[in-house]
Structure 1
Amino acid sequence: MSDDNGSDYLSPPVQRATKLLRRIAEGDRVTNMSRTARELDISRTTLLRLLHTLEAERFIEPAGDSGWRIGPGLIAIAAHAFASGDLAEAAQPVLQALAESVGMSAHLGVLDGREVVYLVRRTPSAAFVSNIRVGSRLPAHAANMGRIILAHLPEAEVRALYAGAPMTAVTPHTATTVDGLLARLAQDREAGLAWSEGFFEPGIGSVAAAVRDARGRPVAAINVSGQVVNFEANRARIGAAVSDAAAEISGRLGFVMRKVA
């Protein structure tokens, strides 16, 4: 017989892993393994196994010179959950207004490893409508939503993400080396937008901006897509509209832009 709270069905290994994840998320980088193991009431060997298992699942990753931080695998799971929660709720009305204002499809995507996953799509009542679908996955190094997220991550994190990974060219514009990608990301970061004039699909233009959470970390990106000719005639207006929409969504997530004195 189980007791009323169902404790007979709890899994101690899973509990230990979730407790460790919470500690790391709250700022414990596990630089003192003896202390962390003692406070979790587990052995150093168990802690080491948990760390390596969570790293293999990409729930955590090495944090700079030492310790651990929450990794892209766990962030991706949270982002997918946000598709029916905070992120999507914050983004949907803004994306719909953006789509109507520029007459093109507007999208929101998140980084999942080396891919960008489309989570939200809003289309205008008329004019150009993209054929991209929610759930679509595109290579982040080639797609501008992926590029603008990567552009706002530390260089070391980008290098680690692509270390030894193939970088297939989608078009002649695609960066196929880490150094080439970092050069492109520097341009995107400087502009505050990632532009694509036929960079991913011939004849199709797009522009993307990063969405930040309350900590300032890029958790998503938005873009609009349309025919290249439309961007040639309205580049400044479209870019400003996408920047403003990304800022509004970020603000709804708690991000506060710091003013430069």
Structure 2
Amino acid sequence: MSDDAAEDPYISPPVQRAARLLRCIAEGDAVTNMARTARNLDISRTTLLRLLRTLEAERFIAPRGGEGAGWQIGTGLIGLAARAFAADDLMEVAGPILGQLAETLGISAHLGVLDGREVVYMIRRTPNFAFASNIRVGSRLPAHAANMGRIILAHLPVEEVRRIFGRATLQAVTAHTPTTLPQLLTLLEADRSTGLAWSEGRFEPTIASVAAVVRDASGAPVAAINVSGQIAQFEGAERRARIGGAVAAAAAEISARLGWAGASPMGSAA
């Protein structure tokens, strides 16, 4: 029994163990070595297995990749977090702006936040016509490959990017995906210099998108927004300039409403 549970009779040790396991997984332990995780949590392997099965049944965790790849935070827990965030300034401010952006451009608009080496989709707004993406709130994509992840990473200190990826293997999603840290840093520098992260077939062969960073009152990159559609919907210099400008303006408006008083980003269509 933990010290907290011993001091407070109203603390439930099983719930506390489940919460600590969730925190452990969220911080990067995929539980690929059950003996080690059980030892770190001071529980038996049998208790750990029961917790994993229960949390999976509630969709609070989900299997990561193939057999033996471990666990990651699941869409059930992300959904709860998204509903909690609905009362937060970021979600309240961004939702209507993204809705207007989607209707104006006729393509889907999204907001995502960085979670370790992944970007998590927190808002999805689709137009009432034309192409709409089928990505769902709670979806997780590799940050080095998805442009919302890239534009957030581009506005972090290089040392922080190095810490996040460390010795991690950068998996290729397409032939255009950076697969080494130097390649990623070069791409992030280009994204930072233009103020926008463009993608034409970088993640899905027929899909184009563009992302811009969202800052909080301190100027920290707290999220990103993007719009996505068929590549044909992005063709032409005038159309690209219109889309890029609209995304940059929407991100600037969200940031301003969060208290950021810095210069408005002027996204390039290059």
Query: Does TM, normalized by the shorter one, top 0.5?
Result: yes
Give the % identical residues: 65
Query: What is the Cα deviation at residue 128 of structure 1?
Result: 1.0
Contact 1:83–1:119 (Cα < 8 Å) also in 2:
no
Which of 179, 204, 207 is residue 207 of structure 2 equivalent to?
Answer: 204
Which of 240, 244, 252 is residue 239 of structure 1 equivalent to?
Answer: 244
Q: Counterpart of 1:181 in 2: which secondary structure?
A: helix
Partner of 2:69: none
Task: Flag structure 2 segments of 5+ consecutive residues without an equivalent.
Answer: 1-7, 13-22, 29-77, 265-270
Please list, as runs of the form range in 1=range in 2, the aligned pairs for 1:16-95 lying within 5 A after superposition: 58=27, 80=82, 81-95=84-98
Matched, 1:112 2:115: yes
Given the superposition, is the C-alpha separation of residues 83 and 101 from structure 1 closer, same or farther in structure 2, using an over 3 Å criterion? Answer: same
User: Partners of 2:178 and 2:85 in 1: how far apart?
Assistant: 30
Query: Structure 1: which amino acid aligns with 2:255?
Result: S
Query: What is the Cα deviation at residue 82 of structure 1?
Result: 2.3
Task: Flag structure 1 segments of 5+ consecutive residues without an equivalent.
Answer: 1-6, 12-53, 60-76
Q: Counterpart of 2:235 in 1: which secondary structure?
A: helix
Name which of structure 1's ranges 85-94 and 146-155 shifts more when overlaid on structure 2: 85-94
Which of 110, 114, 135 is residue 132 of structure 1 equivalent to?
Answer: 135
Deviations 1:173-201 (A, max 9, x none): 00011111000000000010000000000
Query: What is the Cα deviation at residue 222 of structure 1?
Result: 0.3
Partner of 1:145: 148
User: Partners of 2:192 and 2:108 in 1: how far apart?
Assistant: 23
Query: What is the Cα deviation at residue 10 of structure 1?
Result: 7.5
Q: Counterpart of 2:193 in 1: which secondary structure?
A: helix
Contact 1:83–1:120 (Cα < 8 Å) also in 2:
no
Query: Structure 1: which amino acid aligns with 2:217?
Result: A
Aligned residues: 196
Given the superposition, is the C-alpha separation of residues 91 and 207 from structure 1 closer, same or farther in structure 2, using an over 3 Å criterion? Answer: same
User: Partners of 2:213 and 2:252 in 1: how far apart?
Assistant: 8
Which of 190, 195, 198 is residue 198 of structure 2 equivalent to?
Answer: 195
User: Partners of 1:104 and 1:255 in 2: how far apart?
Assistant: 27
Contact 1:223–1:242 (Cα < 8 Å) also in 2:
yes
Partner of 1:250: 255
Partner of 2:54: none
Partner of 2:37: none
Runs of 4+ in 1 over 4 A off after TM superposition: 7-11, 54-59
Partner of 2:101: 98
User: Partners of 1:189 and 1:228 in 2: how far apart?
Assistant: 23
Query: What is the Cα deviation at residue 56 of structure 1?
Result: 9.8
TM-score after normalising by structure 1: 0.70
Matched, 1:230 2:233: yes
User: Partners of 2:196 and 2:263 in 1: how far apart?
Assistant: 18
Given the superposition, is the C-alpha separation of residues 56 and 143 from structure 1 closer, same or farther in structure 2, using an over 3 Å criterion? Answer: closer
Given the superposition, is the C-alpha separation of residues 251 and 201 from structure 1 closer, same or farther in structure 2, using an over 3 Å criterion? Answer: same
Query: What is the Cα deviation at residue 230 of structure 1?
Result: 1.3
TM-score after normalising by structure 2: 0.67
Q: Counterpart of 1:135 in 2: which secondary structure?
A: coil
CA RMSD of aligned residues (A): 2.6
Given the superposition, is the C-alpha separation of residues 149 and 219 from structure 1 closer, same or farther in structure 2, using an over 3 Å criterion? Answer: same
User: Partners of 1:154 and 1:239 in 2: how far apart?
Assistant: 24
